[in-house]
Amino acid sequence: MPRKWLVSLARFTAHIIQQTNNRQVFFACDDVMRAYLTWLKDYAKKIEVSLHCWALMTNHVHLVCTPGCASALSEMMQAVVRG
């Protein structure tokens, strides 16, 4: 089943949920979580996304953020996934 389109508006706060397939474990150790947070903070700053809060679970992530422009959220998430 294809993913739904991401609707993103500049300067509107969004709740983003990023999940693994079949509830597979992604954050197996603290080092992986730290690396993810480092990438997330770096790319949020670079792409001008205000990152308000986050919650990292073993198989998914919750983010509350506000993009500076309409394409910023998808750009940030693509950059974080690529590392």
Q: Do 51 and 40 meet the contact criterion of CB atoms below 8 Å apart? A: yes
Cα-Cα end-to-end distance for the chain: 26
**pLDDT on residue 6:** 63
- CATH code of the domain covering residue 71: 3.30.70.1290
Flag whether pLDDT at 3 surpasses 70: no
Average pLDDT over residues 12-16: 93
% of the chain with per-residue pLDDT over 90: 80
Flag whether pLDDT at 2 surpasses 90: no
Residue 3 covered by a domain: no
Report how many domains make up the chain.
Answer: 1
- The string of pLDDT tens digits covering residues 24-61 is 999 999 999 999 999 999 999 999 999 999 999 999 99
Q: Do 36 and 27 meet the contact criterion of CB atoms below 8 Å apart? A: yes
Range of the domain at 65: 14-82
CA distances from 35 to 3, 5, 32 (A): 26, 28, 5
Residue 2 covered by a domain: no
**pLDDT on residue 17:** 93
